[in-house]
Amino acid sequence: MSYEVTHSPYFQTLASENWQAGFDETTMAKAIQALEQGQLIYFPHLAFHLFPAEMPLLTTRFSTRKRKNISYNRMTDDLHGTKKTTLLEAEALQSLLSRFAEHARQLVENLFPHYQPALIWGRTSYRPVQITHRPTSYRKDDKRLHVDAFPASPNQGKRILRVFCNINPKGEDRVWRIGEPFESVAAQFLPRLKKPMLGSSRLLQLLGLTKGLRTLYDHYMLQIHDQMKADLAYQKSARQTELRFPPGSSWIVQTDHVSHAAMSGQYMLEQTFYLPVEAMQDPRLSPLRVLERKLGKELI
């Protein structure tokens, strides 16, 4: 099926309204090129509809103070980050998130069949908390421009591909800021970065502080993430634009590549996938390859 593609410096718009829809070759080619070059793929009319029995889940009552997300591991059927849930409520949350995970997988595999053999499941999350009201440290403040990197979960160069859907029942937009391209971010922050202490990656893994070995790539990406958020002058002066995602819209983005900040909004679903760099259509565009070119050495 063919879909109109609307062009923008920041995103490509697809008119699909069906999570299971197929796409024609031209649409798929434009979408993968846009995604790998650092654009969002935006679906203004791709809604994820809750069943009537799931509507009571649109509440902050299940959220804990320590976590912004309720997360679900589809591979183990485990739910984390909740409080005060009955067995029936927990089962309803699991069912909702499992269903969204499957919808997101079908969308990504249909639009990017090139990725399908190598795509790795990540966690599914439900974000019921209003962003603007959440107190946090600067490192965890997603209202500041950043690229994604995880201190406890090194991804060792794999891409972070995420599917988002605004399910807000009160008409509230999800508001993001999109910053400058990754090449510009890297040029700005690489001179500030420090090499890791010898043996620190193994020690972090042995102490259970990281779930796997933190490679040089993970070390530098985490520093870029932290330095971006810490630099308030950069937050104000960096080239950026506001994007608004209304309820009933969805979008796909590689959050390790796209500088972004989530400014406001409540009630959103998100599915994470990981993709080995070698599975990209053009691996040269990955943050891993960009950093390796700029530093003149291999990072994994």
Question: What confidence tens digit (pLDDT) does each residue in 10-31 have?
Answer: 889 999 999 999 999 999 999 9
Tell me the H-state helices in the chain. 25-36, 87-111, 182-189, 200-206, 216-230, 232-237, 287-295
Average pLDDT, stretch 76-90? 89
pTM of the model: 0.94
Q: Degrees (nearest 5) of the Cα angle 267, 42, 172?
A: 30
What's the CATH number for 5-295?
2.60.120
Residue 3 pLDDT level (bands cut at 50, 70, 90):
very low
The closest of 267, 40, 56 to 171, measured between CA atoms, is 267
pLDDT averaged over every residue in the chain: 93
Distance of CA 227 to the CA centre of its chain: 19
Q: How many CB atoms lie within 10 A of CB 130?
A: 14
Q: Which pLDDT tens digit goes with each residue over 21-63?
A: 999 999 999 999 999 999 999 999 999 999 999 999 999 998 8
